[in-house]
Chains A and B, each alone.
Chain A
Amino acid sequence: MMKKLQLALQINKLNKIYSDGTVALKSISFEVNKGDFFGLLGPNGAGKTTAIEIITSITNKTSGSVTINNIDIDSNFPLAKKKLGFVPQELNFNIFETPLQIILKQAGYYGIMRKDVTSRAEYLLKKLRLWDKKDTPCRNLSGGMKRRLMIVRALIHEPELLLLDEPTAGIDVELRREMLSFIKEINNSGTTIILTTHYLEEAESLCNNVAIIDNGEIIKKSSVKDLIKTLDTETFILNLENNISTAPKILDYNFTMIDSNTLAVEINNKQNLNDLFSKLSKSKIKVLSLKNKANRLEEYFIKLTENKIR
């Protein structure tokens, strides 16, 4: 039996021209299925935040349509926003208020009474390790704490669609890992997630589908699996035992010297490392260790957008 996938978000020919004339989005279209973990990737200034802020109503669209859970935002935006959660890229709370005040207030704006949400507030604050700080004015929180607070705030009303605009920027490694596994947990329990991030290993490990946006246009829509399959080369960094003066010339392999004992080599999907190593040792080059130059999605991304940095 074919089951039609329900859409959490449908964006059609969306355009945005800011009042100063900046064209931020050029007729972009994409869809996100219910339950998906969707990545919106792209270089600085590509239009990711613009797209996300249009979905949340912080930014007005110039033209095009946006449908959230089958509700067209032009017909009933308040209803569409009821089950929407949003973590912005920049801090947007009153720094004189405390985390608890901010969260309970946000719940109230969604029509949830304080007494109905106190236990959830406690659970989320503890989960994101902010419980100790719940009564501290936010101006006294660290940068990472402020960002975690915005995640708690976005989850307080149990959203069905969660928009995360670079939620992990400035959060330390351990907490980031914890936070991402929590976000994954939320996704597993049915919440649709749209994530923008510059940490592509994050996108690779979390997202099922991605859209890559550049200069206001979507230049690629695909599942992460398929994207990685299309990568035909991978770059490895080799750490050598002895110093060399020039990059070795070995048939079929493309070496670049990084310094006197570090080499980069591109391996395509028809080559293998065993062959490379045996040819290197014939040339008296001994490899101490190797590592991937970047993660695979990152390589794909760089190829796609290189020479386009503005």
Chain B
Amino acid sequence: MKNLCLVSLYTLLRAEILRITRIWPQTIIPPIITSTLYYLIFGKLIGTRIGTMAGTDYIVFITPGLIIMSLITNSYMNVVSSFYFARFSKSIEEILISPMLNLVILIGYISAGIFRGMIVAFLVLLVSLFFTSIKLYSICLTIFIAFLASLLMSLFGFLNGMFARTFDDTTIVSTFLLTPLIYLGGIFYTTSLLPKPWDLIATLNPILHIVNAFRYAMIGVTDVNVINAILIIILSCVLLTVISLILLTKGYGIRK
């Protein structure tokens, strides 16, 4: 049984990573291009006029935000598109007919999302080195929060891929929910700039907590309590994992 779990997990993860590398122009290149553009426009052109934000150079301030934004969208997109495609093409049946456990299926898809998120985050970090230099506040915390964030967004993508009935459903959530939350998540500004009561309302946005926790880990600056933020992320991960496992056991969206 242990052997079955390990081999099947390895197999699924291998296939998912092959997929990411097979379609690298869609998975790896876009975040590099967009983050370069952000650096050119917001970092170099506009950033020099803004000066400082929360006591740091603007270009340094947005760097953690740009990295975590790429990580969030890529982890999420990877799982939602891969899982939805498997359902759409029915190739999910290869997994369904096998003795693979639901937990292993979930771990396989989620790990691939984390993998892509982390790779992309690392590449954006490399891009940032062309524009600015950053002394990491805490490497361990940076990696830990990046991991938690990609875990959470992968789970979110998995659920989205499970509920989607059409290809459009996979983009609706990202266009109407994820993108606004990301842009309102304090990547480009601190919440102290917001008028009351918007500064408080903004803290209801989970992405804000991810962005700030990550910013704290990288440059030591945050709008929110980092311990709280980490707890919120971990609790959300637990909640989404439980929901995913229940739905998988029921066969929601995958078994007729």
Contact = CB atoms under 8 A, between A and B. Distances in A.
B12 A109 contact: yes
A127 B50 CA distance: 70
Given A57-B255, A60-B255, A106 B98 contact: yes
Contacts of B256: 18-19, 53, 58-60
B98 to A, nearest CB: 4
Most buried by B among A19, A94, A95: A94
B96 A111 contact: no
Nearest to A54: B256
Contact of A108 (B10, B85, B90, B251): B10
A107 B15 CA distance: 13
Of A88, A111, A113, most B-chain CB atoms within 10 Å: A111
B191 interface: no
Majority SS at the chain B contact face: helix
Interface string B37-54: 000000000000000000
Given A109-B11, A111-B3, A111-B8, A78 B255 contact: no
Interface stretch (A7-15, A79-87, A166-174, A255-263): A79-87
Contact of B94 (A57, A59, A60, A109): A109
Interface in A7-60: 18-19, 53, 56-60
Contacts of A122: none
Given A57-B96, A57-B97, A108 B8 contact: yes
Contacts of A107: 11
A290 interface: no
B99 A111 contact: yes
A95 B85 CA distance: 11
B4 interface: yes
Contacts of B99: 78-79, 81-82, 109-111
A90 interface: yes
B93 interface: yes
Nearest to A83: B99
Contacts of B255: 57-60
Contacts of A56: 93, 96-97
Interface string B93-114: 1111111110000000000000
A46 to B, nearest CB: 17
A108 B93 contact: no
B100 A93 contact: no
Contacts of A277: none
B126 interface: no
B93 A92 contact: yes
B89 interface: yes
B7 A113 contact: yes
B135 interface: no
A60 B91 contact: no
B22 interface: yes
Contacts of A53: 256
Given A78-B100, A78-B101, A93 B22 contact: no
A48 B15 CA distance: 32
A105 B93 contact: no
A66 to B, nearest CB: 14
Given A58-B255, A105-B15, A93 B94 contact: yes
B90 A90 contact: yes
A281 to B, nearest CB: 60
B97 A86 contact: yes
A91 B93 CA distance: 10
Given A94-B91, A96-B22, A105 B101 contact: no
Interface in A153-172: 153
13 contacts: A56-B97, A57-B96, A60-B255, A82-B99, A92-B91, A93-B89, A94-B86, A105-B11, A109-B94, A109-B100, A110-B98, A111-B4, A153-B94
Closest 4 A/B residue pairs (Cβ):
A108-B11, A111-B4, A92-B90, A109-B98
Interface of A: 18-19, 53, 56-60, 78-79, 81-82, 84, 86, 88, 90-97, 101-102, 104-113, 153
Interface of B: 3-5, 7-8, 10-12, 14-15, 18, 22, 85-86, 89-91, 93-101, 251, 255-256
Given A108-B7, A108-B8, 10 more contacts: A59-B255, A92-B94, A94-B86, A94-B91, A105-B14, A108-B14, A109-B100, A111-B3, A111-B4, A111-B99
